[in-house]
Every structure is written in structure tokens, then in C-alpha cells.
Amino acid sequence: MPSCTSLLFILCSVLNSALCCDWLRNYGHLNNNSQTLIKHMGGPLTEEESPVPFPYRLYELTEKAEMQSQLVFIRYSLEMISGLYRHDNLSIATWDTIKTEHFLMSIDRQIEELNHCVSTKMQPDSRLRRYYRRLAMTLHHTGGSAASWELIRKETEHHLIQLEMLVASIRRRSITTTRQH
């Protein structure tokens, strides 16, 4: 069983040089941090259903896509998530302000790392853009009510988990490629 570091080393040596190893190396830690903070910055996650259906299909399609598109998908999702919380009425949510601040910093840190790997000019599928526009509208319609913030928080947590699975599939694919060489 090779160690994690050597696996990462192999992985990084096969990946397109544009894909900086730093991002993959830090991803597990950064995403774990983001997930922990989003869970603990408020009370239990709401059981309410979001009026905007979760874009599972887009995740499925992205899992099969080229790595560049996958990275653009991940970065765009994180940017949109970060953007949702830059809102005048965030304080209505009554979350722990320090944890919320740290959560946003952890997301921005992930975006920053990804910006080293993929051109900032690349745009994702328009369906993903539409999804996040609709999600932002749920906040807009209520002026940022506490309930709509809880929905956003729950959806965010779900995205972080799905993004983690997507990254796991990128890793698996890269390792398979290595073995075939």
C-alpha cells in the first residue's frame, strides 16, 4: 500500500502540468475545513427542501468530462457559493460570525488554489450558471430571510460533499491512467 504522499507524487507527475499539485494536495484538508465550518457555524441543518432542485445531473455529466471542465465546474461552484454569502442581510442568519468568516475564507482559499490550475477565462456549462442564478433568487425573493439562509447553508453543505466526491473521481481516474502506463 503506497503512502498517501507517494500516491500524490505519482498523481501529480501524470497530471497535466497546468493542474498544480498544490491544489490536490491541499484539497482534502481545505474541503474538510469548509465542511466542518458550515456544519458548526449554526444549529442543525434544516430539513426543508430547497425550491431549486439539486443539480445531480450536472455532477454526473461533469464526472465524465475532461479534467479542465471538471476544474472549471468546481471553481465556478465555489465562486457562486462564496458570492451567495456576500449579502447585505447575512446577519439575519444569526450564525457564529467568526465561524462564518472562517468558512468564507476557506472557500476563497480553495478558489485561489484552483485559479493556479485553470484559466480564469474558462466558463462552465450554462446550466450550472442557471442553477446558481435560481438559487440566488431564493434569497432575493425573501430579502434574505433566516429560513432562506438555512436552505442556502444546507445546499452548500451538500455541494461540498458532492464536490469532494467529484475530486475523488478525478483522483481515481488519474491513478488508473498511471497504472496503464
Q: Which is nearer to ligand NAG, 61 or 105 (CB)?
A: 105
Q: How far is the CB of 115 from ligand NAG (least distance, A)?
A: 24
Q: How far is the CB of 16 from ligand NAG (least distance, A)?
A: 27
Q: Applying CB under 6 A, which part among 8-16, 30-38, 128-136, 171-179 lies near ligand NAG?
A: 30-38
State the Cα angle at 16 between 174 and 57, rounded to 5°: 55
| Burial status of residue 87 (CB atoms within 10 A of its CB: 0-12, 13-18, 19 or more) | middle
Is residue 42 at the binding interface for ligand NAG, with CB under 6 A as the rule?
A: no
Contact flags string 80-109 toward ligand NAG, x per CB under 6 A:
-------xxx--------------------
User: 50 with 154: CB under 8 angstroms?
Assistant: yes
Subset of residues 136 to 165 that bind ligand NAG, contact rule: CB under 6 A? 143-144
Phi first, then psi, for residue 133 (nearest 5°) are -65, -40
Instruction: Look at the alpha carbons of 9, 11, 17, 18 in this order and tell me if their dihedral is positive or negative.
Output: negative
**CA 94 to CA 63: how far, in whole Å?**
36
| Binding residues vs ligand NAG (CB under 6 A) | 32, 35-36, 87-89, 143-144
